[in-house]
Amino acid sequence: MPNSRLIVRLEEIGSELSGRPGALGLLALGSSGLDQERLDAYSDLDFFVLVRPGHKDHFLEDLSWLTNLAPEGFYYRNTVDGFKFLFKDDVFCEFGVFEPQELPNIPFARGKVIWSHSHLEPALLQPNPERSRVEPSRDLNWICGEILCNIYMGLNRYLRGEKLSALKLIQHHNTDRFLECLLLHFHLTPEGRDPFSPDRRFEFLCPESGALFQNFFRGYDGIVASAQAQLLWLEQRFQPSAFMCEKIRVKLDEALEHKSN
């Protein structure tokens, strides 16, 4: 069931803005927008506030359009355009304030108009196709190449003593690459994925991924084991470069010996 408390708060924000000089509209995004059936007890509110030219700073400096609705608990300005804001009643918001001329250069997915002034051009609330897609689709050869190179470079960093850098390459950088790899391997459609955060809802899209990720991403003390698991999985299912795989195995042997000493 959608979280009705969040929907009500969103409508309250729209109503509050409608009485503010300079406000032009409220555009809800993600699960706050067109996917409100996904709103649950763990959701937050993502939205854009549209204001007249010259009014942006006012709406960023005076947040009474939020605090008039319920007491604030914590907030900070996380970008030049907006805030992360937590009400005392646990409604969490992430938002940006934009003037109409800024929107064509802002990447966002299609959202739901909660309120708009008659002076606001509806076309402005539609995402610019050139700005909406964060990353193009990759072919399997490119994905495997990236994974292998991240493992190889990561093991070199590990052997140098740069474990944090090794973890970042082997586990963090390879996270998105394995998401893409699994989509291709299991012939999954990317429909329903978050275009700006591909890890969101991935376990629902690919239930098999949980067990794999336990092996692929083992944390700071499992860097070498993570590299081993990633390489083995690739070799069992695809045909990655034999030359690169052999070079990685040499590095793995050296890393295991280094770890035992």
Task: Give the DSSP H or E segment for 202.
Answer: helix 202-205
Q: Answer whether 120's CB lies under 8 Å from 24's CB.
A: yes
Which pair of structure tokens corresponds to residue 108? Answer: 């966002």
Instruction: Give DSSP secondary structure letters for 120-159.
Output: S-GGGGSPPHHHH--S----HHHHHHHHHHHHHHHHHHHH
| Span 94-119, pLDDT tens digits | 999 999 999 888 888 889 999 999 88
**Mean pLDDT (whole number) for 171-188:** 82
pLDDT at 173: 92
pLDDT at 204: 64
Between residues 140 and 93, which one has the greater pLDDT? Answer: 93
Residue 21 banded pLDDT, cuts 50, 70, 90: very high
pLDDT exceeds cutoff 70 at 260: no
pLDDT at 119: 83
Q: Answer whether 78's CB lies under 8 Å from 64's CB.
A: no
Give dist(CA 165, CA 177) in Å, integer.
17
Q: What is the mean pLDDT of the chain?
A: 86
pLDDT at 219: 93
pLDDT exceeds cutoff 80 at 1: no
Residue 27, CA distances (Å) to 45, 52, 245 in order: 11, 15, 48
pLDDT exceeds cutoff 50 at 40: yes
Between residues 199 and 207, which one has the greater pLDDT? Answer: 207
Which pair of structure tokens corresponds to residue 171? Answer: 């586990």
